[in-house]
Protein backbone atom coordinates (compact mmCIF):
# COMPACT_ATOMS: atom_id res chain seq x y z
CA UNK A 1 0.00 0.00 0.00
CA UNK A 2 1.41 3.43 -0.94
CA UNK A 3 2.57 5.82 1.75
CA UNK A 4 -0.10 8.49 2.44
CA UNK A 5 0.29 11.79 0.65
CA UNK A 6 1.96 14.08 3.19
CA UNK A 7 0.32 17.49 2.89
CA UNK A 8 1.80 20.23 5.04
CA UNK A 9 -0.57 22.90 6.34
CA UNK A 10 -2.01 24.43 9.48
CA UNK A 11 -4.71 26.31 7.57
CA UNK A 12 -8.22 24.92 8.27
CA UNK A 13 -9.41 26.03 4.82
CA UNK A 14 -6.62 24.09 3.14
CA UNK A 15 -7.38 21.04 5.30
CA UNK A 16 -11.00 21.19 4.15
CA UNK A 17 -9.91 21.58 0.53
CA UNK A 18 -7.43 18.68 0.75
CA UNK A 19 -10.00 16.34 2.26
CA UNK A 20 -12.63 17.35 -0.29
CA UNK A 21 -10.38 16.87 -3.30
CA UNK A 22 -7.62 14.41 -2.48
CA UNK A 23 -9.50 12.09 -0.15
CA UNK A 24 -13.13 12.34 -1.26
CA UNK A 25 -12.78 13.07 -4.98
CA UNK A 26 -9.58 11.23 -5.91
CA UNK A 27 -9.41 8.60 -3.15
CA UNK A 28 -5.88 9.43 -1.96
CA UNK A 29 -4.78 8.29 1.44
CA UNK A 30 -3.60 11.63 2.84
CA UNK A 31 -1.85 12.68 6.02
CA UNK A 32 -2.25 16.34 6.85
CA UNK A 33 0.61 17.55 9.02
CA UNK A 34 1.40 20.81 10.75
CA UNK A 35 5.11 20.20 11.37
CA UNK A 36 6.74 21.00 14.69
CA UNK A 37 9.15 23.33 12.89
CA UNK A 38 8.41 26.53 11.01
CA UNK A 39 8.36 25.99 7.27
CA UNK A 40 10.37 28.82 5.79
CA UNK A 41 8.66 30.97 3.18
CA UNK A 42 10.66 33.26 0.98
CA UNK A 43 9.66 36.73 -0.12
CA UNK A 44 8.70 36.22 -3.74
CA UNK A 45 6.44 37.69 -6.37
CA UNK A 46 4.39 34.52 -6.99
CA UNK A 47 2.73 31.81 -4.96
CA UNK A 48 4.42 29.20 -7.16
CA UNK A 49 7.86 30.43 -6.04
CA UNK A 50 6.84 30.38 -2.37
CA UNK A 51 5.36 26.86 -2.57
CA UNK A 52 8.40 25.56 -4.46
CA UNK A 53 10.90 26.86 -1.90
CA UNK A 54 8.83 25.80 1.13
CA UNK A 55 8.15 22.25 -0.03
CA UNK A 56 11.82 21.62 -0.82
CA UNK A 57 12.84 22.95 2.57
CA UNK A 58 10.25 20.75 4.34
CA UNK A 59 10.97 17.60 2.29
CA UNK A 60 14.70 17.86 2.96
CA UNK A 61 14.15 18.55 6.68
CA UNK A 62 11.61 15.72 7.14
CA UNK A 63 13.32 13.27 4.80
CA UNK A 64 9.93 12.53 3.21
CA UNK A 65 8.09 13.49 0.04
CA UNK A 66 5.78 16.43 0.79
CA UNK A 67 3.07 18.55 -0.78
CA UNK A 68 2.66 22.24 0.00
CA UNK A 69 0.29 24.80 -1.47
CA UNK A 70 0.06 28.55 -1.59
CA UNK A 71 -2.69 30.89 -2.73
CA UNK A 72 -2.79 34.57 -3.45
CA UNK A 73 -4.85 37.36 -4.89
CA UNK A 74 -3.12 39.91 -7.11
CA UNK A 75 -4.94 43.24 -7.20
CA UNK A 76 -4.25 45.45 -10.22
CA UNK A 77 -4.72 48.75 -8.38
CA UNK A 78 -2.14 47.67 -5.77
CA UNK A 79 0.49 46.73 -8.32
CA UNK A 80 -0.18 43.03 -7.79
CA UNK A 81 -0.27 43.08 -3.98
CA UNK A 82 -0.95 41.25 -1.77
CA UNK A 83 -0.06 38.32 -4.06
CA UNK A 84 1.49 35.63 -1.87
CA UNK A 85 1.22 37.91 1.20
CA UNK A 86 -2.50 37.33 1.82
CA UNK A 87 -2.02 36.02 5.34
CA UNK A 88 0.01 39.10 6.27
CA UNK A 89 -2.65 41.47 4.89
CA UNK A 90 -5.36 39.53 6.73
CA UNK A 91 -3.44 39.63 10.01
CA UNK A 92 -2.52 43.31 9.75
CA UNK A 93 -5.74 44.87 8.45
CA UNK A 94 -8.40 42.18 7.98
CA UNK A 95 -11.20 42.11 5.43
CA UNK A 96 -13.36 45.02 6.62
CA UNK A 97 -10.52 47.52 7.00
CA UNK A 98 -9.08 46.49 3.64
CA UNK A 99 -12.41 47.03 1.86
CA UNK A 100 -12.85 50.37 3.64
CA UNK A 101 -9.42 51.52 2.42
CA UNK A 102 -10.23 50.25 -1.08
CA UNK A 103 -13.75 51.70 -1.34
CA UNK A 104 -12.90 54.69 -3.60
CA UNK A 105 -10.84 52.59 -6.00
CA UNK A 106 -12.37 52.33 -9.47
CA UNK A 107 -10.04 49.65 -10.84
CA UNK A 108 -11.23 46.57 -8.96
CA UNK A 109 -9.67 43.93 -11.21
CA UNK A 110 -7.84 41.06 -9.54
CA UNK A 111 -6.36 37.65 -10.26
CA UNK A 112 -6.18 34.48 -8.16
CA UNK A 113 -3.19 32.15 -8.11
CA UNK A 114 -3.33 28.66 -6.65
CA UNK A 115 -0.13 26.61 -6.60
CA UNK A 116 0.79 23.12 -5.43
CA UNK A 117 4.39 21.97 -5.12
CA UNK A 118 5.45 18.35 -4.55
CA UNK A 119 8.98 17.35 -3.66
CA UNK A 120 11.03 14.29 -2.78
CA UNK A 121 13.95 14.86 -0.38
CA UNK A 122 17.08 15.93 -2.21
CA UNK A 123 15.24 16.57 -5.47
CA UNK A 124 13.76 19.58 -7.22
CA UNK A 125 10.05 20.30 -6.66
CA UNK A 126 7.36 19.84 -9.29
CA UNK A 127 4.95 22.79 -9.33
CA UNK A 128 1.37 23.04 -10.61
CA UNK A 129 -0.33 26.44 -10.84
CA UNK A 130 -3.70 27.77 -11.87
CA UNK A 131 -6.14 30.53 -11.11
CA UNK A 132 -8.72 32.89 -12.54
CA UNK A 133 -9.55 36.55 -12.90
CA UNK A 134 -12.25 38.61 -11.24
CA UNK A 135 -13.00 41.75 -9.28
CA UNK A 136 -13.01 42.98 -5.69
CA UNK A 137 -16.51 43.43 -4.24
CA UNK A 138 -17.54 46.55 -2.33
CA UNK A 139 -18.56 44.55 0.74
CA UNK A 140 -17.48 41.33 2.43
CA UNK A 141 -19.94 38.52 1.75
CA UNK A 142 -20.14 34.92 2.85
CA UNK A 143 -19.23 32.86 5.88
CA UNK A 144 -16.62 30.35 4.68
CA UNK A 145 -13.07 30.67 3.51
CA UNK A 146 -9.89 32.66 3.73
CA UNK A 147 -9.32 36.41 3.62
CA UNK A 148 -9.78 36.97 -0.11
CA UNK A 149 -12.70 34.53 -0.40
CA UNK A 150 -15.01 37.12 1.19
CA UNK A 151 -14.44 39.79 -1.47
CA UNK A 152 -13.13 38.11 -4.65
CA UNK A 153 -15.88 37.78 -7.29
CA UNK A 154 -14.85 35.60 -10.26
CA UNK A 155 -15.47 36.93 -13.75
CA UNK A 156 -18.98 36.03 -14.90
CA UNK A 157 -20.30 35.72 -11.33
CA UNK A 158 -22.12 38.05 -8.94
CA UNK A 159 -21.20 36.24 -5.72
CA UNK A 160 -17.93 36.01 -3.80
CA UNK A 161 -15.92 32.80 -3.58
CA UNK A 162 -17.22 32.36 -0.04
CA UNK A 163 -20.84 32.57 -1.17
CA UNK A 164 -20.20 30.22 -4.09
CA UNK A 165 -18.48 27.71 -1.78
CA UNK A 166 -21.48 27.66 0.56
CA UNK A 167 -23.76 26.92 -2.39
CA UNK A 168 -21.59 24.43 -4.32
CA UNK A 169 -18.04 23.57 -3.21
CA UNK A 170 -17.03 21.80 -6.40
CA UNK A 171 -18.29 24.63 -8.62
CA UNK A 172 -16.45 27.21 -6.50
CA UNK A 173 -13.27 25.12 -6.81
CA UNK A 174 -13.27 25.64 -10.59
CA UNK A 175 -12.30 29.28 -10.08
CA UNK A 176 -9.01 28.24 -8.52
CA UNK A 177 -7.88 26.80 -11.85
CA UNK A 178 -6.67 23.29 -12.58
CA UNK A 179 -3.60 23.07 -10.33
CA UNK A 180 -5.20 20.66 -7.88
CA UNK A 181 -6.48 18.42 -10.69
CA UNK A 182 -3.19 18.62 -12.59
CA UNK A 183 -1.32 17.59 -9.45
CA UNK A 184 -3.80 14.77 -8.73
CA UNK A 185 -3.43 13.36 -12.26
CA UNK A 186 0.36 13.56 -12.05
CA UNK A 187 0.39 11.98 -8.58
CA UNK A 188 -1.84 9.08 -9.62
CA UNK A 189 0.29 8.39 -12.70
CA UNK A 190 3.74 8.90 -11.21
CA UNK A 191 3.39 7.90 -7.56
CA UNK A 192 0.33 5.75 -6.89
CA UNK A 193 0.70 3.52 -9.97
CA UNK A 194 4.31 2.87 -9.10
CA UNK A 195 3.45 2.05 -5.49
Q: pLDDT digits over 51-104, tens only?
A: 999 999 999 999 999 999 999 999 999 999 999 998 889 999 999 999 999 999
Q: pTM for the complete prediction?
A: 0.88
Look up the CATH number of the domain holding residue 92: 3.90.950.10
- The gap from C-alpha 54 to its chain's centroid, in whole angstroms, comes to 13
Q: Taking a C-beta distance cutoff of 8 angstroms, is the pair 169, 149 a contact? A: no
Partners of 8 in the β-ladder: 33
Please tell me the total count of domains within the chain. 1
What pLDDT digit, counting tens, does each position of 22-45 carry? 888 888 888 888 777 667 676 788
Which residues have a catalytic role annotated?
70
Domain that holds residue 132: 5-192
- Classify residue 54 as left (phi > 0), alpha (psi -120 to 50) or beta: alpha
Q: For residue 113, give the nearest of 126, 95, 130, 88 by alpha carbon.
A: 130
Q: How far apart are CA 42 and CA 51, in angstroms?
A: 9
What pLDDT digit, counting tens, does each position of 152-180 carry? 999 999 999 999 999 998 899 899 999 99
Amino acid sequence: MPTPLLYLTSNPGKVEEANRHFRDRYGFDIEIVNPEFEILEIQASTCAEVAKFSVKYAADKLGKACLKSDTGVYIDALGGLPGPYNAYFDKQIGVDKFLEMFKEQENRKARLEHSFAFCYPGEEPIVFSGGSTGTISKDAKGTRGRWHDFFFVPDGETETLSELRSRDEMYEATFWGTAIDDFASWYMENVLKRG
